[in-house]
């Protein structure tokens, strides 16, 4: 069955997967969604015997139906190779009564590697399939992890350039250094004077500027996105939830058809939406716990039915979740109103205009599988210390948000169901916060001063990605105001 894509705002239909990947964002500002949701074609028992790469093919072929078997397997094998430091790609660690799905074993030690390792290959294949001759400019906003993972994926990929905008003072020092030291003649990174929402809104505005697109075309360029709004980011993320369930079955941690729940630290809503898609494929997931930090716009939404970004933007120790406009939520809103593109577009217009919208009772009922929770900064720190003291297992700040929320909800509800917690970043990426949570405040000058101490605490080898930035040359120095993003793009591209 061929799966085609359409815009959540109604402007485009019958778009192939490869074209949806190339475009990134629909021309009407909507996000691409499959016209129908496929189902897994093989049993969990069969999947339990498969490698990550084999599982990826079984999942991704259901969504990327205009890719040949050879094309898709080639993309998968190039993506999930020795750049990951474990053979399993996404191992499960059993600790503290839950299963931590470690998604940080790629080249930039964050879960974004799971999708951004394959996106460049999907995009180049898509360009060939659609006879695209223009140079593809990947334009991305990052709250910390996407930027480095995208730059690493696209570095020196022929026919592409990548420009990343990130909030100055809104990411960890390790995250910033990973971006600023990235090699590749086609890579650029720009610090903006603003927060992540400013960066994301600026990127979306550029995408929606028809005159800019025309100007780009005249100079031989076309935009695409590496953010999770791109369906080429979302589809690879579905894989690891299918894989996690299959591995629990293989390890005899669960019985055949036994339901599990999933808890995901959530900012832009793409990662937890991928878990929801896995459920739609047939994975026995009951509850999807959406864990927020103190920027708890999603928690409030699930509590009240009102999405309201009109609030103070807080900088926290889990910066990848410091987001007030969760772009991928639009896909769930679209589904919840019966795929009514007109109604969805009206709600998104309200968000753009007054900064909020409210969904009706039927839409809230549609989202019954989701439950929101949030953790304060002190709770995050306490959770890191508690898990370490009780088990010896070290988790990063984002994973600690999910761990704290999950533990609280399970205790309140007396819930004993097996739970997979998405562990989205290596503790080494946030070494200062992790070490000080476990040992108390030390006030060392540089975040990198905490690396060796974390190694002693955890016994886990210091990742190559961290060792590399300790003495790497700073290669990127650009900064701009949020309102100067279009001019900055022009300057980088030379027109």
Nearest 5 degrees, angle CA 299-CA 356-CA 399? 25
CA distances, 48 to each of 105, 283, 287, 452 (Å) = 21, 12, 22, 37
In terms of phi and psi (left: phi > 0; alpha: psi -120 to 50; beta: otherwise), the region of 165 is beta
Rg (CA), the chain: 21
Those residues with Cβ within 8 angstroms of residue 297's Cβ, 6 or more apart along the chain or in another chain: 307, 308, 309, 311, 323, 324, 326
CA distances, 366 to each of 21, 360, 460 (Å) = 28, 10, 42
Q: Report the interhelical angle of 270-281 vs 329-336 (nearest 10°).
A: 40
Q: What is the DSSP letter of 160?
A: E
Contacts 24+ apart (CB under 8 A), 58-61: 58/242, 59/235, 59/238, 59/239, 59/242, 59/281, 60/235, 60/236, 60/238, 60/239
Residues known to be catalytic: 112
- Closest to 285 (Cα-Cα) out of 370, 398, 377: 370
Give CA–CA dist 77/487, Å, rounded.
38
User: Which spans in 24-129 are helix H?
Assistant: 44-47, 52-63, 69-79, 112-116, 119-129
Q: What is the DSSP letter of 449?
A: G
Give CA–CA dist 154/119, Å, rounded.
9
Is 239:60 a contact under the CB 8 Å cutoff? yes
Give CA–CA dist 101/79, Å, rounded.
19
């Amino acid at each position: 069955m061929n799966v085609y894509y359409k815009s959540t705002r109604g402007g485009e239909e019958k778009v192939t997967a490869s074209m949806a990947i190339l475009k990134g964002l629909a021309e009407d500002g909507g996000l691409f969604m499959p016209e129908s949701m496929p189902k897994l074609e093989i049993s969990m028992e069969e999947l339990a015997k498969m490698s990550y790469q084999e599982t990826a093919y079984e999942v991704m072929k259901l969504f990327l139906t205009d890719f040949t078997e050879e094309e898709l397997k080639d993309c998968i094998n190039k993506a999930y190779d020795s750049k990951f430091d474990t053979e399993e790609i996404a191992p499960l660690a059993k600790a503290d009564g839950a299963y931590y799905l470690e998604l940080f074993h790629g080249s930039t030690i964050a879960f974004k590697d799971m999708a951004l390792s394959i996106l460049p290959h999907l995009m180049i294949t898509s360009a060939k399939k659609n006879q695209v001759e223009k140079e593809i400019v990947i334009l991305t906003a990052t709250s910390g992890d996407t930027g480095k993972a995208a730059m690493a994926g696209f570095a020196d990929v022929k026919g592409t350039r990548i420009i990343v905008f990130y909030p100055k003072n809104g990411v960890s020092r390790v995250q910033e250094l990973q971006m600023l030291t990235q090699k590749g003649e086609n890579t650029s990174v720009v610090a903006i004077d603003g927060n992540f929402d400013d960066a994301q809104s600026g990127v979306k505005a550029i995408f929606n500027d028809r005159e800019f697109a025309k100007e780009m075309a005249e100079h031989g360029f076309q935009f695409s996105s590496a953010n999770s709004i791109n369906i080429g980011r979302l589809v690879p993320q579905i894989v690891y939830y299918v894989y996690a369930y299959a591995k629990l079955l293989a390890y005899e941690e669960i019985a055949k058809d036994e339901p599990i729940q999933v808890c995901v630290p959530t900012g832009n809503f793409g990662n937890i939406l991928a878990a929801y898609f896995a459920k739609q494929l047939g994975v026995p997931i009951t509850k999807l716990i959406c864990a927020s930090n103190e920027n708890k716009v999603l928690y409030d939404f699930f509590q009240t039915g009102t999405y309201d970004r009109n609030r103070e933007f807080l900088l926290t120790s889990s910066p990848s979740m410091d987001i007030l406009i969760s772009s991928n939520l639009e896909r769930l809103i679209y589904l919840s109103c019966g795929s009514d593109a007109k109604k969805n577009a009206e709600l998104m217009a309200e968000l753009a205009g007054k900064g909020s919208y409210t969904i009706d009772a039927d839409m809230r009922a549609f989202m019954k599988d989701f439950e929101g929770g949030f953790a304060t900064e002190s709770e995050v720190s306490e959770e890191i210390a508690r898990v370490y003291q009780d088990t010896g297992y070290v988790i990063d700040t984002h994973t600690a948000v999910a761990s704290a929320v999950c533990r609280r909800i399970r205790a309140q509800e007396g819930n004993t169901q097996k739970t997979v917690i998405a562990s989205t970043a290596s503790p080494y990426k946030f070494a200062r916060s992790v070490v000080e949570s476990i040992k108390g405040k030390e006030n060392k000058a540089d975040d990198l001063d905490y690396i060796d101490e974390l190694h002693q605490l955890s016994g886990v080898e210091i990742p190559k990605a961290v060792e590399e930035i300790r003495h790497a040359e700073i290669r990127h120095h650009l900064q701009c105001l949020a309102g100067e993003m279009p001019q900055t793009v022009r300057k980088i591209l030379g027109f």
